[in-house]
Structure 1
Amino acid sequence: MDTPTFKIAVIGNGGAGKTTFVKQAAAGAEGTYLTNLGALVTPVHLSTNMGELVFNCWDTAGQEKFGGLRDGFYVQTMGVIYMFDVTSLASYQALPEWHEDVERNTEDVPAVVIGNKADAQGRAVPADELTFHLDHELPYYELSAQDGTNLAEPFLSLAQKLTGRSDLALAP
C-alpha cells in the first residue's frame, strides 16, 4: 500500500521560523529547493496508529517578498500551516494577507495556525489578543521550532482533517 502523502504550504512572514520548523519536524530529512517556484520542499514523516503519513512541506524559503509569484506555490495544496513569530506583532498582523492568498488560490483546505518562538523573551503578541485562529475557526498551537517543542501536534491536526479520521493519533 502506498504511503498517504499530502502537499502542505507553510506560510508566513520571513523570520517567523518556517524553515527551522520544517527542518526540525523532518528530523534531518533533506529538502529540495525548487528555484522556479522559490520553495524548499521537505518531507515530514508522521507515525500514527494507522500507519505512516508524509507531508511534503512547501516553505517559501525567504521568497515572501515576491508577492504575486506565490500563486504557483499553492497549486495542489492540500493543507496550510500559517506561522507567525510571537515576538513580532507585524508577523501576526500579516496573517490576514496570507489567508487572502490561500483563499484566492485554493479550495477550502484544512489549516492550522502556529505561534512560533514561544520560548523566546519579549513576546509582542499577547495570548489574549490572538483572534485570527478564532475568526477562521482554526486550531492554534504555540511551539518552539528552535528547541523542538510541540512539533507533531499541528501535523496530527492536519492529518485528522485530511484523512477524515478523528481517531487518528500519534504512534506510541
Structure 2
Amino acid sequence: MFDVTARLTYKNVPTWHRDLCRVCENIPIVLCGNKVDVKNRQLRAIIILRKPFLYLARKLAGDPNLHFVETPALAPPEVPIDLAAQAQHEAELAAAASQPLPDDDDDAFE
C-alpha cells in the first residue's frame, strides 16, 4: 500500500516490490493506495483502483487478456412485505427483550 497524498510513497513502490520478490517469489502482488477519501490526492484514481484489481483478476483467472466491462446498475428486486407478520415478529421480539435473565448462568459453563 502507498499513500495517495504523498507521491514519495508511490515512488518507493519499485523498491518495495524488488524487496518483496526477493523474499517471496512467484506470488501475486497488488498495489493499492490508501487515503483515497482525502481531497488533496496526488495520484489519479484509475491508477489506484482499476489497474491493481485487473492485474489480480488476470492472475487468479490465468487469463492475461481478461478485461473488465461496465454493466448497468440494476434496481433491487421488489420484495413483498407482510405487514401483519412483521407486526407479529416485532411483538415477539419486544416480549423476548422484556424477559429477565436468570442469575445462575455461571453454573452452566462449569
TM over 0.5, shorter chain? no
User: TM-score with structure 1 length normalisation?
Assistant: 0.28
* Structure with more strand by fraction: 1
Structure of larger gyration radius: 2
User: TM-score with structure 2 length normalisation?
Assistant: 0.42
* Structure with more helix by fraction: 2
Which protein, 1 or 2, shows the higher relative CO under an 8 Å CA cutoff with sep ≥ 6?
Answer: 1
